Structure 1
């Protein structure tokens, strides 16, 4: 958490886990603090200057210049120049202190069960010196964003990461399930996690409300387009909703490998990728998916940054930029 990432000519071909766009620039993050970026659709890559060498797993840019990345050790790093140079804003040690002090001040005879549980959990995590991993980050604007991670860890900022407010008492997550993703589309922000759980932000109340799926395994992420939402995860698990996440329908896919990432295309179509190197495309709101062929398949860890017909994909072999293909017409898999 305190050692800068090592420069490497092979950083763009090392395992990378998260990817997005900062304007027209593609930015990807991965193991040992590696961050690479490209201004020419992946033909060439440069390595960013990063103040940590812990594994980074997710990245978010609300505009072309300002971005945040998170990872193991609870690190949060920030850039103001489109991802070329980064500074550390906070890490798990400081977040643990913040959580303990925040909930200690809230304690009292009238404290809710949720606040008391959040204080107990924060104190336990801080006492053993653990720095819980952060697994995702989402900024809806240059000021407002969320970071989420293991054991119900979730923090909110309203000032671009200068300060972080614990939200652990606002999640309806008494079992302290891990949060694997936080993702938004306009007014809707969703969390996904263990035990097939989905949580939807109620902005009026300032809480995340449970919207569980029938699945009991881990969900890695969500995609939203209009009224349509899909959530995806382990063993090819895929569920679709068109009623505000009130009900979920299982969608069959041709491969049981874990679905690890996805992106919404310009026309609202969903593109998903999995650990077996397979891409799935839906143009009907996630009700059915077809296998599509990619030029350079690998074991995928994430997808993002659609623009001008191209999408950036990251995985075991680094980062590649692919032209979004048409349906292969090899198979159609529909909602049950």
Structure 2
């Protein structure tokens, strides 16, 4: 049985047994229950962190989102309409941001991460997918296969998690997740188009990452899978790694250089947009969970083992750097105000030992 990777597959608790009459007590699920305010939110497990202008925004368990305007010295908790676990966040501009997580939820902020609204959840996306794919099935054999699969997921409640989000600009973006789930928006999340019938992923492997720029968009996941969008074919085409483990993340560097990282310290580099891959030795066996390309071109990778690795040659070689306080890392970003910000099992913090 396949499973989601450790750092992003934190499970939601089992449904509560109800002994009282339904009229007296009604269970409200995490997709409909706002995140609970907590003074310890910034110290609870945080799965990802992003910069929104000069602000830092981190997302984590139970719908917790926190933000800081003073380089991480203090944090405020955002207003969030769900209490499901959140695993990824991005801000293509200072004010507009998106976060995704369990329950297939897509959240949107228009004020730099202080307040969020739900744009989409798993039940809505399953219904959307069935309608869309049924309409495509008459002329697209891949869509016909996807319809049957999507109906099975719909019967399971439509709660498949979304694991990653990327926005090329304030309008065009992608979200990806388990069982080949991938959706695109071109109007800032007002509407979403399923793309499950346009991927070279016949076994419905999970997607864990989506990255890109104005030149190309890539997704990656289980089984050494890396796909690149081919505009001519209107399809995500396979550019697999010489490796069968899970790919937790991708980094798009200058030109056509791409890094793919994952389980057991695995790192691969392509200088031709995924046409071929070279394995990069790192000297660690810990899973690499996140990475960032800094404005000056330096690359940092963070691991589940609390390690940070730095490259100054476009990912050809890496050296270990010692963080101030080690924890299991799940997210890393450069602060616009200076310093490196790490999200992980003990919350989110700026690390003074990793100054840019």
Q: Could you say which TM-score interval applies, normalised by the shorter chain?
A: over 0.9
* Partner-residue secondary structure (3-state), 2:103: helix
2:242 is the counterpart of 1:214: yes
**2:175 — aligned with what?**
147
2:292 is the counterpart of 1:263: yes
**2:143 — aligned with what?**
115
Q: Distance in 2 between matches of 1:187 and 1:21?
A: 22
**What is the TM-score of this pair, normalised by structure 2?**
0.89
Once the two structures are superposed, residues 298-321 of structure 1 have per-residue CA deviations (whole angstroms, 9 ceiling, x without a partner) of 110111244344221100010011
**1:89 — aligned with what?**
119
How far did 1:324 drift?
A: 6.5
The answer as to whether partners of 1:266 and 1:306 remain within 8 angstroms in 2 is: no
Select 1:277's aligned residue among 303, 306, 313: 306
Q: Structure 1 regions of 5+ residues with no counterpart?
A: 328-336
2:55 is the counterpart of 1:25: yes
The answer as to whether partners of 2:125 and 2:158 remain within 8 angstroms in 1 is: no
How far did 1:323 drift?
A: 4.2
**Aligned-residue CA RMSD (Å):** 1.4
The answer as to whether partners of 1:185 and 1:225 remain within 8 angstroms in 2 is: no
Once the two structures are superposed, residues 213-240 of structure 1 have per-residue CA deviations (whole angstroms, 9 ceiling, x without a partner) of 0110100011111132111001111001
**1:137 — aligned with what?**
165
Q: Distance in 2 between matches of 1:112 and 1:206?
A: 13
Select 1:4's aligned residue among 18, 34, 37: 34
* Partner-residue secondary structure (3-state), 1:99: helix
How far did 1:131 drift?
A: 1.1
2:90 is the counterpart of 1:50: no
2:350 is the counterpart of 1:321: yes
Q: Distance in 2 between matches of 1:19 and 1:38?
A: 11
How far did 1:107 drift?
A: 2.1
How far did 1:255 drift?
A: 1.3
How far did 1:273 drift?
A: 0.4
Q: Distance in 1 between matches of 2:104 and 2:189?
A: 14
**1:183 — aligned with what?**
211
Q: Distance in 1 between matches of 2:99 and 2:126?
A: 18
Select 2:198's aligned residue among 146, 163, 170: 170
The answer as to whether partners of 1:229 and 1:285 remain within 8 angstroms in 2 is: no
How far did 1:112 drift?
A: 2.8
**1:62 — aligned with what?**
92
More strand by share: 1
**2:226 — aligned with what?**
198
The answer as to whether partners of 1:138 and 1:145 remain within 8 angstroms in 2 is: yes
**2:45 — aligned with what?**
15
Q: Distance in 1 between matches of 2:202 and 2:353?
A: 41
Once the two structures are superposed, residues 158-199 of structure 1 have per-residue CA deviations (whole angstroms, 9 ceiling, x without a partner) of 111111100001111111010001011331211010001101
* Partner-residue secondary structure (3-state), 2:70: coil
**What is the TM-score of this pair, normalised by structure 1?**
0.94
**2:135 — aligned with what?**
105
Select 1:240's aligned residue among 243, 249, 269: 269
How far did 1:9 drift?
A: 0.4
* Partner-residue secondary structure (3-state), 1:276: coil
Structure 1 segments, 4+ long, off by >6 Å, are none
